[in-house]
Amino acid sequence: MNTLDYNVKGVKSFRGMEGYGFNATLYRGKIKIAFVIDEANGGCYHYDWFNRAEDKILRDHCESLPKEVVYDMEIAVDSDMLVGALVDKYENDKRFSRLCKKSTLFRLKGDPDDGYQVYKNTPYNEFMKKFLIDKYGDTLEEILNEKY
């Protein structure tokens, strides 16, 4: 999903009535545009806009995006989907960054897109890089530590 230059900061997750919710600050570039709350009650997100014009800019951007395929259905992207994707990315980046400090994570061709193989308690360095390349050769698709 094309998120333009939108991002979130200060994400705080919590357990709500229907799963996990969050509070986050939404930015377009370096401009703080809204405080977003998912109350985890099954409803839409709540936006507290710092500049009301940003609401229309975000909606227009979402309307310009191609439809997403979810369970064989095409769904138009809305603000909640875009912000939800940003929060997921933020939380995954934070989790992977923490994991990559102490372990080596990698994926081979044919591994699931959302799964990584792990050498626990083995920090990534030049020795590990050479070891992975020597052991797996052309089947080595990605070393996640190089991203984080």
The domain ranges of the chain are 6-95, 103-146
Predicted local confidence at residue 1, as pLDDT:
59
Residues 6+ apart with CB under 8 A from 86: 3, 6, 7, 8, 24, 26
In the chain, DSSP assigns E strands to 6-16, 19-28, 31-38, 46-49, 68-70, 73-75, 104-108, 117-119, 140-143
pLDDT in tens, 66-118: 999 989 999 999 999 999 999 999 999 999 999 999 999 999 999 988 889 99
Question: Does the model's pTM come out above 0.85?
Answer: no
pLDDT tens track for 96-108: 999 999 999 999 9
Q: What is the pLDDT of residue 114?
A: 80
